[in-house]
Structure 1
Amino acid sequence: MTETINCKVLILGAGPGGYVAAIRAGQLGLDTVIVEGENPGGTCLNIGCIPSKAMIHAADEFEKVMHFTGENALGISLEKPKLDFKKTVAWKDDIVRKLTGGIAGLFRKNKVKHIAGWGTMIDGKTCEVKTKDGVVTVKAENVILATGSVPIEIPSLPYGDKIISSTEALSLDKVPGKLVVIGGGYIGLELGIAYAKLGAKVTVVEALERVLAQYDKELTKPVVTSLKNLGIEVLSNTKAKGLSKDGKSLLIETKDGSEEKIAADKILVTVGRRAKTEGWGLEGLDLTMNGRVVAIDDKCQTSMTGVYAIGDLTGEPMLAHRAMAQGEMVAEIIAGQNCTFDKVSIPAVCFTDPEIVTAGLSPDQAQDAGYETKVGVFPFSANGRAMTMESEDGFVRIVARKDNHVVLGIQAVGKGVSELSAAFSLALEMGARLEDVAGTIHAHPTQSEGFQEAALKTLGHALHI
């Protein structure tokens, strides 16, 4: 079967950016087609953000029960629990199915045509899609490229069998006895911590001097302490070389140049992601590149008229919510609205134990940008709600201009602080001053009081420290 479809908007890729662009375009009455070779939702929903958080939650619950099998301050006593890991994975998969089904339903609701198949751009207006029923040619007035990203491979450690990416790590049939994680960034540590809580002996191999190097040391200290408490061994300044001859161990090169072996049942490679620039016809387009990613302006317009690019394809920060915001904006631009992408804050969350949130500028980034700053830190050890949750590690930190007290950045580390990210971003987007945050009544007892107290501390009169 061959078929030709004409439309106003063609979206290549149904990840977070692509599906949001399609839904918004449909809401605006634009004739929209979205092409995706796999389930809607992209990496984030199917094999990334959502399933990993489900696994993290299951691990947290299992570790919590294990905690109560021994001495504890709450006086709770339980027998040692058992883990049916296949059932855990099935629960995670069911969440993914519900959400992907929900996206498909939203496509129908908003009259978006979803073509299931792999698309290849022939030119800036035409895409050929290989479906199970044949080739469908889509001709569009406007194209949104949302092809996402893929895990980076280590040439000496190609994926397969013992060597896995985060995708396979979320679908194992059992908890590995010995798990080696290559890469101490947020993906590696999130999954490494989860598997350690589920009973694996975890070793992290990091080529840099410390884990979570994208964050400053103060933010990562509570996480490093947690790694030690969970029995996770971190080998910094260490390079992964390849498998041993018998295939049972990972060969590593330590800081002093010596070679050692680490026994492993599974080796999880998490050394980053790269834009997916192959397999969909980039070579047939005349796009200006910014290194290995597609160059865009503040409207997500590429160098070709009527061709837009969003999400991971356009580089850092590779975050689902950035892609979503870009997708929504581009749909509105195509509909004739005057929009530009000018976000003060794109928050980032690391779902380690404890969690890390960053929004806006860090103290060092603010200084590098030429600002004279005031910085205030309020520890959760002085927060009543944190005490009642046995989660006193961590803090909230505010960075503000010294002259007019406008808030430039907010960071936090602690249990559940991911839920503070919206408040942090809202303050930044609204141009809040320290006095605005300090003068806002925060509900008691909550961890959010740490935000208010950090502002008060920066002003020189914290109340509870």
Structure 2
Amino acid sequence: MNNTIKTQVVVIGGGPAGYSAAFRCSDLGMKTIIVENYSNLGGVCLNVGCIPSKTLLHIAKIMEENKNFFKKGVFNKDIEINIEKIILWKQNVINKLVNGLNFLAHTRKIDIINGKGLFETENSLIVQKNNNDNYKILFDNAIIATGSTNIKLPFIPYNDDRIWDSTDALLLKNIPKKMLILGSGVIGLEMATIYQSFGSQVDIVDITQQILPEIDEDIVNFYKKCVKNKFNLLLGTKVLSIDNSQDLLQVHMTNDNNNSVYSKYYNIIIVAIGRKPNSSYISQKLPQISIDNNNFIIVNNQMRTNISNIYAIGDVTGYPMLAHKGIHEGHLAAEVIAGKNHYFVPKVIPSIAYTNPEISWVGITEKNAIKNDIKYKVSSFFWNALGRAIATNEQKGLTKLIIEKNSNRIIGGGVIGYNSGELLGEISLAIEMGCDAEDIALTIHAHPTFYESIGIAAEICIGSVTDIINNNRN
């Protein structure tokens, strides 16, 4: 093969985990190549996932705020949306970030080869390009950062353009009158938030009885009360089949174990039942890389696979499938390759559902504590007594701290409300640093702010709170 390149590190995948690993490798003095199957860096997250969805969710949030003030008579006119301009705004956001990544890669002298990378040996990779002009890359070390893809169900007619996945949904092809979303996880709830705000009537169906099962029930129940008039949750309901032979999609469902079946009709269906790792191709012509029963690549706490010079990071290595987890794993893999004795051992990894209201959690939940027999206590503060929340018409909120009973250390937290994800920083740092409730309570929090609610929750715990009636005076 004429197109043969030698490099110290090849990174397969140009998403957040992959480009972060490549950039760190370059900064540590190693010649690095990124192999990316698509034309842009950024992966699913930047191009068809996190960034476009958050852009649309921000617009949806502005619309909701406007509608609320219109109903209160503060604004004289309700808002009208321009879908074409929204799509253009979304694309401009993506382009700005993609251009930034290209600049960073170019400045670091990182080569980007577009195509699908397939291992040939432990030290060589074939890159299959669309124009059949294939490359062979000889490498000292490889980092697999191939990400994940949408899970598909066998009974769904995916060839029908009225059946969408999350990527299709973010294209805003149209705003349907009636929409069904399969799956009540983070992606499903975020899509529901967007389309409900844009005017669709939305049903969410899930075979389980609880949305976001990893979160404590008090926060989930709080969220359900907030959205009960926005969209319809069909929990404990199984979709049996979809008839796409008519003008509307006919969905056959059951919520009593097939004893009775009923039908509902929709213009559009979004399938958002989860994602699976892109790991199926990696072992071609290569001694087997260890993969678990869920097709995740098995790595140690230095992100190394069972082949010593091949590493894996990001979604392809397991849950949680979060960009910020992959970014840190990418940095660490690069540092290990560079000879640093570093390990991936985070105490906590924060999670956020960018719904309205936003739901955020980090560390140990009550469910975790009970399951692991951890003696704990809870300190919660509702935002209907929070000055900033009242001033901004955002009283629908709750800040909750999970505290180890004997030591009073913060071990977890959950927040629901406006921009709740921004509040996780303090809670995450408190857990990582081993802070106790008194450390938080004695830290002066700015007033009026939303993060002040964390300080007040800690004051409730130690009995020094004055913002509400104190039943635990100390």
TM range (shorter): over 0.9
Distance, in Å, in 2 between the alignment partners of 1:236 and 1:159 is: 23
1:249–1:261 CA contact under 8 A, matched in 2: no
Please tell me whether the aligned partners of residues 121 and 285 of structure 1 are also in contact (alpha carbons under 8 angstroms): no
Residue 122 of structure 1 and its aligned partner are, at CA, apart by: 1.4
Cα-to-partner distance string for 1:198-249 (whole Å, 9 max, x where unaligned): 100111111111222221211112321232222x111111111222252422
SS of the residue corresponding to residue 228 of structure 2 reads helix
Larger displacement relative to structure 2 (362-371 or 82-91): 362-371
SS at match of 1:462: coil
Residues 50-108 of structure 1, C-alpha deviation per residue, up to 9 Å, x if partnerless? 100011111122233333443x1xx4232233221122112111111111111111111
Contact 2:240–2:254 (Cα < 8 Å) also in 1: no
What do the CA deviations read for 1:84-136 (whole angstroms, capped 9, x no partner)? 11221121111111111111111111121111122111122211112347111
The amino acid that maps onto 1:171 is L
For residue 83 of structure 1, what is the amino acid of its counterpart? I
Amino acid at match of 2:144: L
Give the residue type in structure 2 aligned to 1:202: V
Alpha-carbon offset, residue 252 of structure 1:
2.9
Aligned to 1:201: 201
Out of 263, 266, 271, the residue aligned to residue 264 of structure 1 is 266
User: Structure 1: how far apart are the matches of 2:284 and 2:438?
Assistant: 50
Distance 1:173 1:302 in 2: 41
Greater Cα shift, 286-295 or 24-33 = 286-295
Q: Is the 8 A contact 1:22 1:34 kept in 2?
A: yes
Corresponding position: 1:276 with 2:274: no
**In structure 2, the residue corresponding to 1:289 is in which secondary structure?**
coil
Equivalence map 1:408-427=2 (5 Å): 408-427=411-430
The answer to whether the aligner puts 1:17 opposite 2:50 as a matched pair is no
- Is residue 157 of structure 1 aligned with residue 159 of structure 2? no
Q: Quote the residue 1:135 is aligned against.
A: 134
Q: Counterpart of 2:51?
A: 50
Q: Is the 8 A contact 1:356 1:412 kept in 2?
A: yes
The structure-2 alpha-carbon separation of the partners of 1:283 and 1:351, relative to structure 1 and needing over 3 Å to count, comes to farther
Percent sequence identity is 33
User: Which residue of the partner structure matches residue 91 of structure 1?
Assistant: 89
Q: Is the 8 A contact 2:249 2:268 kept in 1?
A: no
- Does structure 1 residue 320 correspond to structure 2 residue 319? no
Q: Which is further off, 391-400 or 160-169? A: 391-400
Letter in 2 for 1:87: K
Is 1:243 aligned to 2:222, yes or no?
A: no
Aligned-pair Cα RMSD in Å:
1.6
Is the CA contact (8 Å cut-off) linking 2:244 and 2:250 kept in structure 1?
Answer: no
Whether the aligned pair in 2 keeps the contact of 1:51 and 1:92 (CA below 8 Å) is yes
Is 2:344 the partner of 1:368?
no
Separation (CA, whole Å) in 1 of partners of 2:466 and 2:250: 52
* Partner Cα separation in structure 2 for residue 245 and residue 30 of structure 1: 53
Q: Secondary structure at the match of 2:320?
A: coil
Local SS of the residue matching 2:239: strand
Amino acid at match of 2:60: A
Pair 1:287 & 2:289 matched = yes
Contact 1:86–1:173 (CA under 8 A) maintained in structure 2? no
Moved more, 133-142 or 143-152: 133-142
Q: Which residue number in structure 2 is paired with residue 255 of structure 1?
A: 255
Could you tell me which runs of 5 or more consecutive residues in structure 2 were left unpaired when the two chains were aligned. Answer: 469-474
Tell me, in whole angstroms, the C-alpha distance in 2 between the residues paired with 1:324 and 1:393: 32
Q: Specify whether residues 240 and 286 from structure 1 end up closer, same or farther in structure 2 by C-alpha distance, changes over 3 A only.
A: same
How far 1:255 sits from its partner (Å)?
1.6
Aligned-partner residue type, residue 49 of structure 2: G
Equivalent runs, 1:383-402 vs 2, <5 Å? 383-402=386-405
1:60 is paired with a residue of what secondary structure?
helix
| Residues 158/146 of structure 1: CA separation in 2 closer, same or farther (3 Å cut) | farther
2:189 corresponds to 1:186: no
Partner Cα distance (1:393, 1:405) in 2: 28
1:13-50 deviations in whole A, cap 9, x for unaligned? 01110000001111111111110011111111111111
> Is 2:8 aligned against 1:3?
no
Q: Which amino acid aligns with 1:64?
A: E
| Structure-1 residue corresponding to 2:472 | none
Equivalent residue number for residue 471 of structure 2: none
| Contact map agreement 1:241 1:250 (CA 8 A) in 2 | no
CA distance in 1 between partners of 2:400 and 2:275 (Å): 29
Return the offset for 1:281: 4.6
Of 115, 118, 124, which residue of structure 1 is paired with 2:116?
Answer: 118
* Alpha-carbon distance in 2 for matches of 1:422, 1:205: 32
One-letter identity of the residue aligned with 1:275? P
